């Protein structure tokens, strides 16, 4: 493989996002988050552009499910309380 033909500059603009994405995946594994918790953490992160519509749709469907309703509400309450005390 000829490494001189690789254009690294084309990867630089997306590199911080990929590093953040890998870091978030590693955090989810280490913290042993469920799929629901992972979606809520992703939806309530501090990024300025907000969560994607598909993620919000998934969370709204989970909140209507009898299986996940308590888990979703518990995690949202925990996030709201932790953000309230961080001010």
pLDDT of residue 12: 53
Domain hosting residue 17, numbered range: 3-85
CA dihedral 50→53→41→30, nearest 10 degrees, is -120
Total domain count, the chain: 1
| Nearest CA among 38, 79, 83 for reference residue 62 | 38
pLDDT of residue 69: 92
Q: Look up the pTM and report it.
A: 0.70
The parts of the chain modelled with pLDDT lower than 50 are none
Give the separation between CA 79 and CA 73, rounded to whole angstroms: 10
């Amino acid at each position: 493989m000829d490494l001189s033909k690789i254009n690294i500059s084309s990867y630089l603009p997306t590199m911080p996002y990929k590093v953040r994405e890998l870091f978030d995946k590693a955090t989810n594994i280490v913290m042993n988050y469920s799929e629901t918790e992972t979606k809520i953490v992703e939806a309530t992160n501090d990024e300025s552009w907000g969560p994607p519509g598909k993620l919000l749709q998934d969370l709204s469907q989970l909140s209507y499910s009898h299986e996940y309703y308590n888990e979703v509400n518990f995690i949202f309450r925990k996030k709201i309380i932790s953000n309230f005390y961080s001010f």
